[in-house]
Amino acid sequence: MNRSSIAIFASGRGSNLQVILDAVQAGDCPVDVRLVISDRADAAALTIARQCGVAHVIHVDPKAFPSREQYDAHCAELIDQHAIQWIVLAGYMRILSAPFVRRFPGRIINIHPSILPAFTGAHAIEDALRYGVKVSGCTVHLVDEVLDGGPILAQAVVPVHDDDSVESLHARIQQEEHRIYPATLKRLVEARFQIDGRRVIWQQPSQTA
């Protein structure tokens, strides 16, 4: 299996997908995007992937499966079929089933719009503003069976302004998402890491030879 091979799961506009594909094309992110999967037939992410020449772009309809586990099992078969190393979630709005997560331990990556462990879940930006924090940001993390609970690979911090709305704070966070997601994928390919408790300990590339 090629260590640089990735599948990207996306449900919506595909902004992080676009940034990753742009970084690949520019030579800044040495990953091989072999597969893009969406649970929504109308997701802009599918169009972006096709326009960028991703070899396999697939809509997997949740209504075609009697359970979330069976839906995920089908997606897992696609991942194995295309010899994928990393599964990258980019605005994927489905919660992965436990059997799927256990099938790919330490190989599923997500980005979340908060400084975890603060403000997990689907309304992180609204929750941060409501709480009154002075900084927020984003977190790239491994996915485990706890929602937004896996070990942290990278984080970036942004200030929260007194006049911020959800939209303005989201835009500032997304700028950092677009910076650190491709950079973290690059690091995953070029270096290795160990997990000590909850801490991700990165090794230097020279130690992976």
As a whole-number percent, the residues of the chain with pLDDT over 70 amount to 97
Q: Are 151 and 91 part of one and the same domain?
A: no
The mean of the pLDDT values for the chain is: 95
The 10 Å Cβ neighbour count of residue 64 is: 9
Q: Are 46 and 137 part of one and the same domain?
A: no
Q: Which two tokens stand for residue 157?
A: 């911090």
Region 16-40: mean pLDDT is: 97
Q: Are 66 and 132 part of one and the same domain?
A: no
User: Which residue reads 């009697």 in tokens?
Assistant: 66
Query: What predicted TM-score, i.e. pTM, was given to this entire model?
Result: 0.94
How many structural domains are present in the chain? 2
From the list 102, 89, 96, 37, the residue with the least C-alpha distance to 72 is: 96
From the list 70, 25, 17, the residue with the least C-alpha distance to 46 is: 17
From the list 51, 9, 16, the residue with the least C-alpha distance to 176 is: 16
For the cut 90, the answer to whether the pLDDT of residue 127 exceeds it is yes
> pLDDT tens digits, residue range 62-88?
999 999 999 999 999 999 999 999 999
CATH number at residue 59: 3.40.50.170
Answer yes or no: 112 catalytic.
yes
**How many angstroms separate the CA atoms of 190 and 168, rounded?**
34
Q: Are 55 and 83 part of one and the same domain?
A: yes
pLDDT at 162: 97
Region 41-64: mean pLDDT is: 96
Confidence label for 205 from pLDDT (cuts 50, 70 and 90):
low
Catalytic-role residue among 74, 82, 112, 170:
112
> pLDDT tens digits, residue range 132-190?
999 999 999 999 999 999 999 999 999 999 999 999 999 999 999 999 999 999 999 99
**How many angstroms separate the CA atoms of 9 and 91, rounded?**
8
Domain, as residue range, for 76: 1-104
